[in-house]
């Protein structure tokens, strides 16, 4: 009779998926306890040699779902130079680096040799690494095809090819490159395709290149009745001219730890980043006009928490894998529901709660309804917070800070001071004065705001058609708070008509004072889209203006160099010529945005 105590315990966790003990040990060391649903479903068939079609949202753990099997399948090394055993194709250089880092981390014990190859990196370095020989290549399609055409990347020994974020690769125009690469793979190779969405184009690729694949679909986590959803989705109806102010109000209420704000265009990214920085936020822009070194610097600042907001275009943000994002903001409503799904997938990851915010112009409400219908997501419609809402929120934060200080103890030094004051004043007045000082130190408020009427919700403030004509975005920016007398035809903002609520109620971190005008001429201030992070110096601007526009250096007024942009005062009569000249040339080796400063 068999002794039950002598029976071998059935493997659990990652060990139950068929992974070798050494790899399971590495995962345990890294703190991985239980596989995610996509990992439980994908790892066994991939280890068995089956093709796989997997649908799973960003942040579900799909990198490990294919990285662990490819480490097992590539453990035999490489047969010859330039001939890896596994190839992973990803849409962006950022994702290539992240996947390569993950594979290296998981395969540390077996000394896995992995190489990321992508554009923007020295090709000479890639050629040397390929010539030495690598087991796993993680590549963007364009650079992979470049190496294939050069003959420096051989696919003859590839056992497994993975297409990660396949829908993103198609959206970025890599369809032909993918077909060219897949056509060069050897017979009998194994293919795994992962995508957050499965449009017809993805299914067509799967039909052409996958052999009897195992199909996996990891549904988005459903919230039980009465439970709080993992990602809270809110939409605010707001006129376009009021969007910058409205965004600031919403962020002030939400107090995000870190947030990504998605814009449609590069110009919108630059302008919004400038606006948010001038209103106390630490914002960084990211779009396709950035060099790789600039992108790396921006991402380092955002990942380290030195920037509150990352303001980016969709293309620039594709492939970014950032775990600590608490809020995602759609500054414009995405025209495609799949794009909405991708964006909000960047928050609420790894079991954390997240918030997805969408600013909706009245004319965009149809797009929002389409997204709600297509995604079957519950998106709450809300109104932009009022001045009273912001004050209540700030009082709540002050109360929490004071309560935390009381519970933290170590107050003996201050008790003596309070005792002295209480001997001559009402103790309640003493406490109230102390809280007032704390509140004012954290949340500056002007006397004018105390009497301000909030009109953000009034019909006349919502309508941005005055006299049958919609004001331009530039006009809205000109009418920013602090501009003094306004054209009476300009659109009325909330808070008494000039958008001043957000402008003055937030601590002015890094707010710029108006530069003095140069003597002897009427001057205007120009915005130049380069700053300290581009190693720009005042002499560079003076030299460029003098040499390219023929304007004497003596006529150039005050110059202010900020982290990402610069401001320079020039004679008003020469401003257009200077802008045209600077747009034709390069400053510090690259083309930059040059335009009148919208905040003059």
Residue 488 has pLDDT above 50, yes or no: no
**How far, in Å, CA of 301 to CA of 563, rounded?**
12
Whether residue 274 is found in the same domain as residue 380: yes
Three-state DSSP at 357 gives strand
Per-residue pLDDT tens for 88-129?
999 888 788 889 988 988 988 878 889 999 887 778 888 888
| Residue 570 C-alpha from the chain's centroid | 35
**How far, in Å, CA of 69 to CA of 48, rounded?**
9
The count of domains in the chain is: 3
Question: Does 432 map to a domain?
Answer: no
Nearest one of 135, 129, 119 to 76, comparing CA atoms: 135
Residue 472 has pLDDT above 60, yes or no: no
Three-state DSSP at 159 gives coil
What is the SS3 assignment for 225-272? CCCCCCEEEEEEECCHHHHHHHHHHHHHHHCCCCEEEEECCHHHHHHH
Residue 312 bridge partners (DSSP): 262, 286
Whether residue 193 is found in the same domain as residue 241: no
Query: How many CB atoms are located within 10 Å of the residue 375 CB?
Result: 16
Residue 77 has pLDDT above 70, yes or no: no
Question: Does 517 map to a domain?
Answer: no
- The larger pLDDT score, comparing residue 564 to residue 448, is at 564
Whether residue 145 is found in the same domain as residue 250: no
On the 0-12 / 13-18 / 19+ scale of CB atoms within 10 A, 410 is exposed
Mean pLDDT, residues 304-308: 83
Whether residue 286 is found in the same domain as residue 378: yes
Question: Does 501 map to a domain?
Answer: no
Residue 535 has pLDDT above 60, yes or no: yes
How far, CA to CA in Å, does 95 sit from each of 100, 116, 138, 420, 563? 8, 10, 9, 61, 26
Domain extent, residue 267, equals 231-387
**pTM of the model as a whole:** 0.50
Q: Is 259 left (phi over 0), alpha (psi -120 to 50) or beta?
A: beta
Q: What is the mean pLDDT of the chain?
A: 76
**How far, in Å, CA of 430 to CA of 25, rounded?**
60
Whether residue 50 is found in the same domain as residue 193: yes
Listed residues 387, 407, 423: the one ending a domain: 387
CB 272 within 8 A of CB 331: yes
Place of tokens 């190859």: 117
Whether residue 65 is found in the same domain as residue 184: yes
CATH of the domain at 542: 3.30.70.330
- Specify the pLDDT at position 473: 34
Whether residue 206 is found in the same domain as residue 58: yes
Residue 87 bridge partners (DSSP): 137, 161
DSSP 194-224: EES---HHHHHHHHHH-SSPEEEE-PPPPPP
- Specify the pLDDT at position 507: 33
Q: Which residues contact 236 (CB under 8 A, 6 or more apart)?
A: 246, 250, 357, 358, 359, 360, 381, 382, 383, 384
CB 138 within 8 A of CB 60: no
- Specify the pLDDT at position 241: 85
Mean pLDDT, residues 390-405: 72
Per-residue pLDDT tens for 122-152?
788 888 888 888 889 999 999 999 999 988 9
At residue 423 the predicted structure's pLDDT band, cuts being 50, 70 and 90, is confident
Whether residue 59 is found in the same domain as residue 206: yes
Cα angle 486, 274, 587 (rounded to 5 degrees) comes to 115
Question: Does 13 map to a domain?
Answer: no
Supply φ then ψ for residue 493, to 5 degrees: -85, 170
Pick from 144-148, 158-162, 497-501, 520-524: least confident: 497-501
**Strands of 454-509, DSSP E:** none
Cα angle 466, 467, 471 (rounded to 5 degrees) comes to 45
- Specify the pLDDT at position 79: 52
Listed residues 327, 357, 387: the one ending a domain: 387
- Specify the pLDDT at position 108: 83
CB 75 within 8 A of CB 113: no
Question: Are β-strands 380-382 and 566-571 bridged in parallel, bridged antiparallel, or unpaired?
Answer: unpaired
Pick from 217-231, 409-423, 450-464: least confident: 450-464
- Which run of H or of E encompasses 303? helix 292-303
Question: Does 117 map to a domain?
Answer: yes
Pick from 101-115, 352-366, 480-494, 508-522: least confident: 480-494
- Specify the pLDDT at position 439: 65
Question: Are β-strands 594-596 and 523-528 bridged in parallel, bridged antiparallel, or unpaired?
Answer: antiparallel
Question: Does 106 map to a domain?
Answer: yes
- Specify the pLDDT at position 310: 92
Question: Does 443 map to a domain?
Answer: no
Q: Say what the alpha-carbon torsion angle 344, 348, 354, 356 is, to the nearest 10 degrees.
A: 10
Question: Does 294 map to a domain?
Answer: yes
- Which run of H or of E encompasses 392? helix 387-408
Whether residue 47 is found in the same domain as residue 195: yes
CATH of the domain at 70: 3.40.50.300
Whether residue 74 is found in the same domain as residue 180: yes
Whether residue 128 is found in the same domain as residue 244: no
Token pair for residue 514?
Answer: 């108006």
Whether residue 202 is found in the same domain as residue 70: yes
Pick from 24-33, 234-243, 246-255, 515-524: least confident: 515-524
**How far, in Å, CA of 516 to CA of 600, rounded?**
11
Listed residues 387, 415, 434: the one ending a domain: 387
């Amino acid at each position: 009779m068999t002794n039950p105590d002598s029976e071998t315990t059935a493997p659990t966790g990652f060990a139950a998926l068929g992974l070798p003990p050494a790899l399971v040990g590495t995962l345990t060391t890294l703190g991985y306890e239980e596989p995610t649903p996509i990992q439980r479903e994908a790892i066994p068939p991939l280890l068995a040699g089956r093709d796989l079609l997997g649908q799973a949202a960003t942040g579900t753990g799909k990198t490990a779902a294919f990285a662990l099997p490819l480490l097992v399948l590539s453990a035999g090394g490489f047969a010859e130079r330039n001939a890896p055993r596994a190839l992973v194709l990803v849409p962006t250089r950022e994702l290539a680096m992240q996947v390569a880092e993950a594979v290296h981390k998981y395969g540390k014990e077996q000394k896995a040799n992995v190489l990321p190859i992508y554009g923007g990196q020295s090709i000479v370095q890639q050629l040397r690494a390929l010539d030495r020989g690598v087991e796993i290549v993680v590549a963007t399609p364009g650079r992979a095809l470049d190496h294939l055409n050069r003959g420096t990347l051989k696919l003859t020994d590839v056992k497994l090819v993975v297409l990660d974020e396949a829908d993103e690769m198609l959206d970025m125009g890599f369809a032909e490159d993918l077909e060219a690469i897949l056509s060069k793979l050897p017979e009998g190779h194994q293919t795994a395709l992962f995508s957050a969405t499965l449009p017809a184009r993805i299914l067509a690729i799967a039909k052409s290149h996958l052999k009897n694949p195992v199909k996996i679909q990891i549904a988005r986590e459903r919230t039980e009745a009465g439970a709080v959803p993992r990602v809270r989705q809110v939409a605010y109806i707001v006129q376009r001219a009021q969007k910058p102010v409205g965004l600031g109000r919403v962020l002030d209420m939400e107090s995000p730890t870190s947030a990504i704000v998605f814009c449609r265009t590069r110009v919108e990214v630059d302008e919004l980043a400038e606006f948010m920085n001038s209103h106390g936020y630490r914002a960084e822009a990211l779009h396709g006009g950035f060099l790789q070194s600039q992108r790396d610097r921006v991402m380092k600042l955002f990942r380290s928490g030195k920037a509150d907001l990352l303001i980016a275009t969709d293309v620039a943000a594709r492939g970014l894998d950032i775990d600590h994002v608490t809020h995602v903001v759609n500054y414009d409503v995405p025209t495609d529901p799949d794009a909405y799904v991708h964006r909000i997938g960047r928050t609420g990851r790894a079991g954390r709660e997240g918030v997805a915010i969408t600013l909706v112009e009245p004319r965009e409400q149809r797009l929002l309804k389409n997204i709600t219908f297509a995604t079957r997501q519950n998106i709450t419609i809300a109104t932009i917070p009022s001045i009273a809402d912001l004050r209540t929120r700030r009082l709540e934060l002050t109360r929490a800070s004071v309560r935390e200080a009381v519970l933290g103890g170590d107050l003996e030094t201050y008790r003596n001071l309070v005792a002295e004051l209480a001997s001559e004043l009402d103790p309640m007045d003493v406490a109230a004065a102390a809280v007032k000082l704390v509140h004012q130190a954290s949340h500056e408020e002007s006397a004018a705001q105390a009497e301000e009427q909030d009109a953000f919700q009034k019909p006349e403030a919502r309508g941005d058609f005055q006299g049958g004509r919609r004001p331009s975005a530039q006009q809205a920016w000109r009418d920013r708070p602090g501009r003094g007398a306004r054209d009476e035809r300009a659109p009325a903002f909330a808070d008494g008509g000039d958008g001043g609520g957000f402008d003055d109620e937030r601590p002015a971190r890094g707010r710029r004072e108006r530069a003095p005008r140069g003597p002897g001429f009427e001057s205007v201030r120009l915005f130049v889209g380069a700053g300290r992070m581009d190693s720009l110096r005042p002499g560079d601007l003076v030299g460029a203006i003098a040499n390219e526009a023929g304007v004497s250096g003596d006529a150039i007024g005050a110059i202010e160099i900020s982290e990402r942009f610069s401001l320079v005062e020039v004679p008003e009569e020469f401003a257009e010529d200077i802008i045209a000249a600077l747009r034709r040339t390069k400053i510090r080796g690259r083309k930059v945005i040059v335009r009148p400063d919208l905040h003059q």
